[in-house]
């Protein structure tokens, strides 16, 4: 955007496309930009019609979209033009409605995998741990119960892949999986090479590659005061 044209506030958006080595008969369309503009137009239309946001709209962009029209007055609007369609407008009222989406959790598609450590068959929910401190509650049906209980029994070696519908926080964090469309068990068993050299042998070999004069530079009390030399804590 390099200029403002006549009118309330018309800002042409210019797209620069790198020249290709192979000449073409016509300039390629900037499909990513065009698609983004069309999506914004659909969002504005939905807000104007008090309808749900488009399904293809990434809910993670809600906070960015809510920044539109931050200085709008009651009688002002942001107008978006797309060829072949009526202009879509974002008024102050519609912006306030958009901000409500930002403040509340939303649903979106989810794909996640992890280990199953807890399961409640009666309530039809299990805890999927995708990291050491990240657990998500997942709903499952009676038809999926066998897979869940198997994953629970074999949690040391089994990982559960989940695809379905999730609930996300306004910041985009997955809160829970509401509906499971696909479950798949995979193994995470580690195979160790018994012929591999012991780690202490490798460390000893690396130590021999360091010249003796470098070892002589180390403090004599390094073992007793390692934290002092690493982090600056007082010596013992």
User: How does pLDDT run across 108-146, given as a tens digit for each residue?
Assistant: 888 999 999 899 989 999 999 987 677 899 999 999 999
Whether residue 41 is predicted with pLDDT greater than 80 in this model: the reply is yes
Sort 112 into a burial class: Cβ within 10 Å, 0-12 / 13-18 / 19+. Answer: middle
Q: What is the mean pLDDT of residues 78-86?
A: 88
Q: What is the CATH number of domain 106-187?
A: 2.40.50.200
Q: What mean pLDDT is reported for the chain?
A: 81
- 3-class DSSP assignment, residue 40: helix
pLDDT of residue 1: 45
Is the CB of residue 116 less than 8 Å from the CB of residue 184?
A: no
Q: Where in the chain do CATH 2.40.50.200 domains reside? A: 106-187
Q: What is the mean pLDDT of residues 210-234?
A: 84
pLDDT of residue 56: 84
Q: What is the mean pLDDT of residues 197-211?
A: 87
Is the CB of residue 220 less than 8 Å from the CB of residue 227?
A: no
């Amino acid at each position: 955007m390099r200029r403002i044209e006549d009118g309330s506030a018309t800002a042409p958006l210019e797209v620069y496309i790198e020249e290709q080595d192979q000449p073409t008969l016509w300039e390629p369309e900037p499909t990513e930009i065009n698609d983004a503009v069309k999506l914004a137009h659909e969002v504005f239309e939905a807000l104007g019609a008090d309808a749900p946001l488009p399904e293809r709209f990434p809910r993670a962009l809600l906070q960015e979209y809510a920044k539109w029209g931050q200085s709008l007055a009651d009688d002002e609007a942001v107008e978006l033009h797309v060829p072949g369609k009526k202009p879509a407008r974002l008024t102050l009222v519609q912006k306030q409605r958009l901000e409500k989406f930002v403040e509340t959790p939303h649903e979106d598609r989810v794909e996640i995998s992890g280990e199953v450590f807890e399961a409640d068959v009666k309530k039809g929910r299990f805890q999927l741990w995708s990291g050491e401190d990240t657990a998500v509650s997942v709903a499952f049906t009676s038809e999926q119960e066998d897979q869940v209980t198997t994953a629970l029994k074999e949690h040391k070696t089994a990982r559960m892949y989940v695809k379905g519908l999730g609930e996300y926080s306004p910041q985009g964090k997955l809160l829970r999986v509401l509906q499971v469309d696909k479950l798949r068990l995979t193994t995470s068993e580690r195979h160790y090479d018994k012929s591999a050299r012991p780690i202490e042998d490798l460390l000893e070999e690396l130590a021999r590659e360091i010249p003796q004069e470098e070892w002589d530079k180390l403090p004599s009390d390094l073992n007793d005061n390692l934290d002092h030399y690493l982090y600056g804590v007082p010596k013992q």
